[in-house]
Amino acid sequence: MRGEVLVDKVRKIKTDFGASLPRESRKSGKLNKFGGAAAIQILREALGDEGIVTSQRDVFMRGVKAEVDLIVPHAGQKPFLDLLYEPNQVVAALEVKKSGIYREKALEKTRNDFARLKEAGIPCAYVTFEERRNFQRRATCENLGVPCFTLAWHKKADGPLEPTQDWEGLVKFLREAVDV
């Protein structure tokens, strides 16, 4: 499955959800929150189609002060209450965004969360469905210290997409982590 197909799917779901809201509610953060949650669910399904098992969204790891968007667990692992993993149960931790990081504070928080996870011995990656290629604070391997995967580039929000090969790169990264 190409990354562009996933981005289009999230865009459509978010648009359909927004259309169902009263006009005054469309400008609220709820629409963006829904878009982010939908992105994680769509990523879970797409990784499942690739044979990569994932956690539910928004889970935790014992001893790590960070919420994790999505975890790829070792085969057969059962977290406590489906929420709390032991570090030795985890293959990789993923931070997932629908359309990137916009504030320096958010970039720093993400960097710090990855540092905590890496201290626990957990490989990490950042996944964004779409992002502006030339955005000053976009997530990169250099500024986060982990692999970063962008499924498509855009020049303006909800504008035309320029697909990448990062979907294939993400799947390869996770399969290699599972096989270790």
Query: Would you kindly state where each structural domain of the chain is located, as residue ranges?
Result: 3-179
The identity of residue 163, as a single letter, is: P
pLDDT digits (tens, 9 = 90+) for 29-74: 666 788 889 999 999 999 999 999 999 999 999 999 999 999 999 9
Strands of the chain, DSSP E: 59-61, 67-68, 70-73, 84-85, 90-97, 124-131, 148-154, 161-163
Tell me, what's the pLDDT at 24?
A: 63
> Sorting pLDDT into bands at 50, 70 and 90, what band is 107?
confident
**Spatial strand order in the sheet of 161-163:** 70-73, 90-97, 124-131, 148-154, 161-163
120's CB contacts (< 8 A; 6+ apart) are 61, 63, 64, 87
CATH class of the structural domain 3-179: alpha beta
